[in-house]
Amino acid sequence: MKKMKLACRLSLSHYFSCERPIIDIVDANLTQVSAVILSLPDIESGELARIQQTGFELPVFIAVDLNDTIGADLLNQVSGVVITDESAHQKNSILINKAAHQYEENLTTPFFSRLVNYVAEKNVAFDCPGHQGGEFFRRHPAGEQFYQYFGENLFRSDLCNADVEMGDLLIHEGAPYDAQSFAAQVFNADKTYFVLNGTSSSNKVALNALLAPNDLVLFDRNNHKSNHHGALIQAGATPIYLETARNPFGFIGGIDAHCFEESYLRQQIAEIIPERQFDKRPFRLAVIQLGTYDGTIYNARQVVDKIGHLCDYILFDSAWVGYEQFIPMMKQCSPLLLALNENDPGILVTQSVHKQLAGFSQTSQIHKKDAHIKGQSRYVNHKRMNNAFMMHASTSPFYPLFAALDVNAKMHSGKSGEAMWMNCVKQGIEARKSLLRQCQFIKPFIPEVVDGIAWQDHNTDEIAHDQRFFNFIPNDNWHSFEGYATNQYFVDPCKLMLTTPGIDPHTGEYEPFGVPASILANYLREHGVIPEKSDLNSILFLLTPAEHNDKFERLISLIIRFEKLLIDDFPLEQVLPSICRRYQSRYQGYTLRQLCQEMHDICIKYNIKLLQKQMFRKNHFPKRALSPQQANIEFVRGNVEFLPLSQLDGRIAAEGALPYPPGVLCTVPGEIWGGAVLRYFQALEVTINQLPGFSTELQGVYIYNEDDGSKRIYAYVIKE
């Protein structure tokens, strides 16, 4: 790795000696610096404040003359003083180099640093993987191109557990154990497990460690499909589903407040397993989304206080968060910061580090916080947890993925985690303000007014520290979610959510003209800006500390440009040229508003926003005929039929069906096709046929081309 640098005014550099490169403080990237020397004018110009805002805890020295006097307040903020006199040259050098070396030592991580040292040993490998440091790839021109693209270090870091020097990732020994222990400290867990196949696997590990056939699991109907797989299909647990909200724009909301009432939950148990209704703790586990895909954030304290006494454990699926404890106004929603006692549930938290934290794709982690129930019969010890872990972990783990998880923990330790995320929050606030001031149709999804003042007219620092600016106040028109209680949910400040025209924000009803968000999403992609997802009249952008002003300016300028194209009704071939080329005969001569109107009219005709809402309401849940596990067994055995949507009504689903994203099942294996779910997929089939190029990915159902040129959706159902 490259040596870190010293940053100072170059005019000061002859007062000390250093083997590290020296760069001017004005141009310094502080992530590459291990010590800083500032003059008094530098401090007056704000350089010390800039360094402190990073949270890196860099050693900073003040360069002063022998006769200068430095106040105690300033001295308390720096590491020491450098005397600008030739007689102090040696002393200055020792002081600066020692501090820089110590800073670099403090940056080392348990696993990644060990990996770097191991790779530097250049051992002769006769073990797996077969490419052996990339050399096999280099025996062929195609492989050589592959090698050159990714670089030597990636291939040399792809190691095998045959050499015990790097420890063991499956039984958590050596450097892997140290790395996970450090992450547990950073995230306030009792124990942390690094998982290398995404939170889909993390969820299954947690669920398989806790659940067995016939256990009752309290189950958020918003749960990601991996929770259905782990809890219901693999473990065979019995779900009590909790109904959830959708608003007219297409945003995914939270669980209704009434679902957390004990009397209601016991009534639901009575409908499924009457003999369990009066058990003291009827639920082996509750599985709750801590934050929905669309940025509805739960109050973890409220959840535990409401249902904790009914559950042995609560699994908070935090795939879409994980940074909450590093943002002051979000800390109350963190399950890992809760004060817990022996009467509370054990807590498990799964986090998709690759989503909005710092990790390669597939990096995930499980946090276990249950020392407060150790010794009780419901407690799951490490050996049982690791048994489930090894059922889902590869015996050939990719070490760079594990190293990324290690480094992510280091980045969030100390003051730097909060500093990075606060900057992200403030950038997101400024982006929302800019959109509110410059855009006419496309609006940020936040309250219009707080304390009688327009949201955008409040001070950014105040907004960044006060949850009131993001709260879902029950019955407020701007969000149109129903069933919420006071202080139950708030908008994730790190999800930039926008709404497009077509929904009256005061009534939640369709307006005559609308702009489905998928059109805006495709326009942005045409210009190299990639949103996370869009649905109905909503579009989502994920914010992380990676953001910078140039990215926001590009996004906002494109949205402003899109509105101008909409007002002037530009030809579609100029707005979405790729789609027009691919489906030339379909969209020949179309304008932008013409396409918007056609797509919006389909939404109105089938009332898709209502169907989407109904699918997640208890009164419209599909009826259960088989357990998900039983239905899956029949599917595996081939006791199924493959039928078009038109023949599915009343038939038992063999697979769970869903649009992806968001990966939330609309119908679960063993449920009966019909009602809102069937009508929703029928509406999607219409869209697929009438508006090619704008269909979403569907899983658990299959799109086939018919002889007449149309496309039809098919699904597997259990044989009658």
Active site residues: 224, 317, 355
Cβ density class 326-364: b for 16+ within 10 Å, e for less: bbebbebbbbbbbebeeebbbbbbbbbbbbbbbbbebbb
Four-point Cα dihedral 483, 676, 251, 607, nearest 10: -110
The CA distances from residue 620 to 220, 507, 610, 617, in Å, are: 15, 22, 11, 5
Spatial separation of the C-alpha atoms in residues 214 and 212, rounded to whole Å: 6
Residue 209 in tokens: 């460690």
Q: Cα 446 to chain center, whole Å?
A: 20
Long-range Cβ contact pairs of 31-34 (< 8 A, separation 24 or more): 31/56, 32/2, 32/4, 32/5, 33/4, 33/5, 33/6, 33/7, 33/58, 34/4, 34/5, 34/6, 34/58, 34/59, 34/100, 34/101, 34/103, 34/104
Q: Which residue, 512, 518, 563, 555, is CA-closest to 537?
A: 518
Q: Are 516 and 537 in contact (CB under 8 A)?
A: yes
Write the single-letter amino acid at 631: A
Q: Are 550 and 528 in contact (CB under 8 A)?
A: no
SS3 697: strand
The CA distances from residue 237 to 370, 445, 664, in Å, are: 22, 37, 18
Spatial separation of the C-alpha atoms in residues 33 and 21, rounded to whole Å: 9
Q: Are 581 and 567 in contact (CB under 8 A)?
A: no
